[in-house]
Amino acid sequence: MSLAAGRPYLAIPGPSVMPDAVLQAMHQPAPNIYEGDIVTMVQAMVPDLRRVAMTEGKVAIYISNGHGAWEASLANVVSPGEKVLVCVTGRFGNGWAEMAEGLGIEAVRLDFGTKTGIDAARLEEALRADTGHSYKAVLFSHVDTASSLRNDPRPLRAALDAAGHPALLMADCIASMACEEFHMDAWGVDIAVTGSQKGLMVPPGLAFIFVNRRAEEARRAMPRVSRYWDWTPRLDPEFFYQFFGGTAPTHHLFGLRAALDLLHDEGIEHVWKRHQTLARTIWAACEAWGSDNGAMRLNVADPALRSHAVTALGLGERNGSALRQWVARNAGVTLGIGLGMATEEDPKGEGFFRIGHMGHVNAHMVLGMLGTLEAGMRAIGVHHGPGGLEAAARVVASG
């Protein structure tokens, strides 16, 4: 007998839970793509997208996943043979660096490990050392989906300014956009990239690049950009198809329209605050479980550095995988695998797992997921400190 038969809850760090309104909006006939409603719909979405990133800049929409957005953003401002400086705080920082290398760009890595986030002083030092300003851009993950570290863009901007370095500041916001507080313009980010399938609550398949004037200038200085990645016509399309470099992704656009309505009806600041409170709910439970010699450990010790959208954590031995399997089979919850967490003792990273709490997530879903973790730890025999669920409920109660 299993207690899993019921509505399953997908608590992986993306794709996130799709709202019914989004799936319904996508369930409709193909539209005309040459004229009519879809044209006006897309034009009206552009300002709504920009309000999510808090920018007066422009946005290019791509049919691609996040890896495509990584490649596209670089392809517009860095030429083969040029250099970028990549702040690595987990697997996804490395991923962006590899995409750069695939374009023939030299990616110089500053590796900050997976526990403590970017040290802005070290970044500033590296920038000062680059006296010839060979770095065209500084890349970083706002949130690294693997480590669940959250890097504040402000100290990075300050480091660039202090060093007087003209490199563009490029933020990977794939796991953070519409989850974490973010003010692209106020915080001095030049390029921000994201995807549809996390905070934006739309199936994977769309990506977005937000650019400011400095980024546009950098594009204009490029000798050549491939037509699919070139953001120029996408930012300022004369014809509708130019938004998408060809055929429009009709059904994703229907879904995105519904998702933007949900976000702005709630209020983007409220969305951020909801994510923050639910993250604190999870932390409260996990810290209680880790007390009293409990096995549970959050990957990021400092709450100020923790993502509000994803949480990486460890249980020791193979218990991360065992717990994931137990809750999937017995309780209807799917957790994310640990990523980039292998150690010598745990070569497959099976002691780790991740909780996605991004997008369409409320107190019921989070408290239920935590309840199944407690049940699962008990069932598979993992020692855990007391009071985790009460602690979580206390955070929800205080709102």
Q: Look up residue 149 and give its DSSP letter.
A: B
Is residue 81 a contact point for a second copy (CB under 8 A)?
no
Give the contacts of 376 (CB within 8 A, at least 6 positions apart).
Answer: 323, 326, 327, 330, 331
Is residue 333 a contact point for a second copy (CB under 8 A)?
yes
Per-residue b or e along 369-387, where b marks 16 or more CB atoms closer than 10 Å to that residue's CB: bbbbbbbbbeeeebebbeb
Is residue 277 a contact point for a second copy (CB under 8 A)?
yes
Site string for a second copy, 171-210 (x = CB under 8 A): ------------------------x-x-----xxx-----
Task: Note the maximum CA span of the chain.
Answer: 67
CB of 385 to a second copy, least distance (A): 11
Cβ proximity to a second copy, 64 vs 114, nearer residue: 64
Cβ proximity to a second copy, 115 vs 280, nearer residue: 280
Surface-to-core class of residue 301, CB atoms within 10 Å of its CB (0-12 exposed, 13-18 middle, 19+ buried): exposed
**Cα torsion 9, 11, 14, 16: sign:** positive
For residues 376, 377, 378 and 383, what is the CA-based torsion angle, rounded to 10 degrees? 180
Which of the ranges 40-48, 157-165, 238-246, 307-315 carries the binding residues for a second copy, by CB under 8 A? Answer: 238-246
Which of the ranges 93-101, 161-169, 185-193, 308-316 carries the binding residues for a second copy, by CB under 8 A? Answer: 93-101
Q: Which of 350, 399, 337, 393 is nearest to 368 (CA)?
A: 393
Is residue 397 a contact point for a second copy (CB under 8 A)?
yes
Cβ proximity to a second copy, 25 vs 149, nearer residue: 25
Is residue 367 a contact point for a second copy (CB under 8 A)?
yes
Which of the ranges 22-30, 53-61, 135-143, 297-305 carries the binding residues for a second copy, by CB under 8 A? Answer: 22-30
Is residue 331 a contact point for a second copy (CB under 8 A)?
yes
Among 7, 132, 238, 344, binds a second copy (CB under 8 A): 7
Is residue 31 a contact point for a second copy (CB under 8 A)?
yes
Per the annotation, does 354 bind a ligand?
yes
CB of 297 to a second copy, least distance (A): 20
Which of the ranges 133-141, 184-192, 245-253, 343-351 carries the binding residues for a second copy, by CB under 8 A? Answer: 245-253
Is residue 40 a contact point for a second copy (CB under 8 A)?
no
Residue with tokens 């709910």: 281
CB of 334 to a second copy, least distance (A): 5
Terminal Cα-to-Cα distance of the chain (whole angstroms)? 36
CB of 107 to a second copy, least distance (A): 12
CB of 196 to a second copy, least distance (A): 10
Q: Which of 305, 278, 350, 256 is nearest to 49 (CA)?
A: 256
CB 85 within 8 A of CB 127: yes
CB 64 within 8 A of CB 207: yes
Is residue 249 a contact point for a second copy (CB under 8 A)?
yes
Q: Identify residues 116-155 at the interface with a second copy (CB under 8 A).
A: none
Among 108, 158, 162, 375, binds a second copy (CB under 8 A): 375
Among 90, 153, 320, 332, binds a second copy (CB under 8 A): 332
Among 46, 158, 162, 365, binds a second copy (CB under 8 A): 365
Token pair for residue 379?
Answer: 């069932």
Is residue 347 a contact point for a second copy (CB under 8 A)?
no
Which alpha helices (DSSP H) does the chain contain, by range? 20-26, 37-53, 66-77, 91-102, 120-129, 153-163, 213-220, 232-235, 250-266, 268-290, 319-331, 363-380, 388-397
Among 29, 81, 132, 164, binds a second copy (CB under 8 A): 29
Q: Give the CB-side neighbour count of residue 221, counting CA atoms within 13 A.
A: 10
Is residue 102 a contact point for a second copy (CB under 8 A)?
yes
The residues facing 193 across adjacent strands are: 172, 209
Q: How far apart are CA 146 and CA 61, in angstroms?
A: 25
Is residue 278 a contact point for a second copy (CB under 8 A)?
yes
Q: How far apart are CA 338 and CA 350, in angstroms?
A: 7
Binding site for substrate: what residues are annotated?
Answer: 354
